[in-house]
Structure 1
Amino acid sequence: MSTYAIPWRFTLALPNTFRPGLSLAWLFVIGLSIAALVPHWLTGIDPLAAAARNAYLPPSSSHWLGTDENGRDVLARLIHGVRPSLLMGLVSTAIGLGAGIILGLAAGLGPRLVDGAIMRLIDVLLAFPDLLLALVIITFWGQGLWITLIAVGVASIPRFARMVRAQTLVVRDAPYVEAATTLGRHRAAVVFRHVLPNAVKPILILATIGIGHNIITGAALSFLGFGASPPAPEWGSMLAMGRNYLANAWWLVAWPSVAIILTVVSITAIGRDWLARSEGKSR
């Protein structure tokens, strides 16, 4: 504890663990959660309401972040665009983590033939960048927000599967697993009660960091025209439209870019803090 002495009477104690940057990250993520769940709490403006006479208005007291080429309020579109962006990060990460756990456990606990077949498949998928693999899936299955969610989730499966397999190989030889097996516990009970929780726990923390990566991938796909259909507000599609008017209306690109950067940085900072705390406890 570090102390700051105030003359005569008071002493203010400040904990050494207080981190302003991390606190700001948490506040920003809480604000994002509110915007995703109840956006009307933050703005009463319709993000789809167009007014041609208000097109290209710069940031002002009436439109804090300006208006776009159709006269729509940029702040309202940013706030309503939080939900699809967070859905992209959360749902795609859940898809990748769920399938990765199944494949990783099967490879780590199965016979050598199964392990080799799964890992060769994972190695082939890892040879493709996430964005390219997602584009291939979208090409076969079509466009749309939910198809994009699934494509980004499938593209993240190889990373999670490889990490789960590595953790499973460590946990399956742990003394408590051997003890449970020696006591005659059923194999399924040993896997679900001892192997699975201990193999997945560190991966869950790393998955938090992966949310930010998937948000960027989803925004890139929306930028290319494979995300939510216009005129739905979505940060990637806002960037795609704003680049055509960058010379005259810089705010159409600046604010969605800032929103994506702050979101990814905040989520990554929280994930890294959890990872550091878990490593400290394990030591």
Structure 2
Amino acid sequence: MAPINQSTPAPAGLIQAVPLFAARRPRVRGWVARPGLLLAGLFVVLLLIAALQPAWLVAGDPLAANAREAFRAPDSLYWLGTDENGRDILTRLVYAVRPSLVLGLAATAIGLLVGTLFGLLAGLGPRWLDGAVMRLVDVLLAFPDLLLALVIITFFGQGQLNTIIAVGIASVPRYARLVRAQTLVVRGAAYVEAATTLGLGRSAVIARHVLPNAIKPILILATIGIGGNIVAGAALSFLGFGAPPPAPEWGGMLAIGRNYLGNAGWLVAWPALAITLTVVSISAIGRELLRRSEGKHL
């Protein structure tokens, strides 16, 4: 075989593969260089599996009670121990992922949808409408999110659906302010003025230029807000406004576990750790997405 020198052409596939892998290598190195972000991503994947197919992770029934196994400390049979009714804590933690993620995602969607509508009305409407909408937003901002959610639940009653609605409405004001601020910036951009000058209708300008550019950074910030809504839902469950027992729910497990904190601390430790890891992981991914969108570190 003749030696390959500089004048020998390389195969076409090799020529195309080199820049392709060279372009991907920095992204791979970025994930490897930040193990915390990689662990956060893996934990979120684990949460999705637990929410969609919990039977893949645990084989038991989260409602199955066994009085003989009550308050059993973590061991080789019950990895995270059992509760006051002898139910496996690991199984209950896994099955509690779905309602927590559903609450976080649905409440964020409600807050983002209603907040975007208010923000667009304030940013694109006349001055009197802007003032009226923002005064309403200021009134809602005067209440802490949890207190506002409690007021809403008081009127509409308890339950998973009402908790989602309450947490979602409580998050509306911050999204409304962010969307209004972005809309005021975008509406004065050169490309919006150019589209208007070329005769593009107002509704078309809003749909094609204002809304996509105003909502894009808000969508990334909403990712971080999912974790906050999960904490709010767990707090409402802890106060007794979530799904009634014995439904597996992190906040409800904390509320019951505090009664046995002295002799069975694991009843509180594991759901608290699950909430913490979930919020930290989702927030880490959201901040990374925000950093990449801005092109700089936060």
- Equivalent positions of 1:81-230 (< 5 A) are 81-230=96-245
Alignment match, 1:45:
60
User: Which residue of the partner structure matches residue 5 of structure 2?
Assistant: none
**Is the aligned partner of 1:278 residue 2:293?**
yes
1:109-155 CA distance string (max 9 Å, x none): 00000000000000010010000000000000000011000000000
| Counterpart Cα distance in 2 of 1:93 and 1:49 | 32
The answer for the alignment partner of 1:246 in structure 2 is 261
Cα distance, 1:88 vs structure 2: 1.4
What whole-Å deviation, never above 9, does each CA across 1:205-242 have from its counterpart, x for those lacking one? 10011011111111000000001111110000000000
**Amino acid in the other structure paired with 1:98:** L
1:36-95 deviation per Cα after TM superposition (whole angstroms, max 9, x unaligned): 000000001000000100100000111000000000000000000000111111100000
**Separation in structure 2 between the aligned mates of residue 213 and residue 258 of structure 1, nearest angstrom:** 15
Q: CA deviation at 1:253?
A: 0.1
Asked which structure has the greater CA Rg, the reply is 2
Q: Structure 1 residue 15: deviation in Å? A: 2.7
Q: Distance in 2 between matches of 1:219 and 1:49?
A: 22
Distance 1:66 1:146 in 2: 31
Q: Which residue of 2 aligns with 1:15?
A: 29
Asked whether 1:56 is paired with 2:82, we answer no
Q: Which runs of 5 or more structure 1 residues have no equivalent in the other structure?
A: 1-12
Q: Give the Cα–Cα distance (whole angstroms) in 2 for the partners of residues 210 and 197 of structure 1.
A: 20
Give me the whole-angstrom Cα distance separating, in 1, the residues matched to 2:170 and 2:283: 19
Unmatched 5+ stretches in structure 2: 1-25
Q: C-alpha distance in 1, partners of 2:191/2:169?
A: 33
Please tell me the root mean square deviation across aligned C-alpha atoms, in Å. Answer: 1.1
1:102–1:16 Cα change, 3 Å:
closer
Question: Percent of pairs identical after alignment?
Answer: 72
- What letter corresponds to residue 273 of structure 2 in structure 1? V
Count of residues paired in the alignment: 269
Deviation of residue 16 (structure 1)? Answer: 5.3
**Among 247, 260, 264, which residue is 2:279 paired with?**
264
- TM-score of the aligned structures, taking structure 2 as reference length: 0.89
Whichever residue aligns with residue 134 of structure 2, its letter is M
Cα distance in structure 2, aligned partners of 1:226 and 1:186: 48
What is the distance in 2 between the residues matched to 1:44 and 1:268?
Answer: 30
Aligned equivalent of 1:77, options 86, 89, 92 = 92
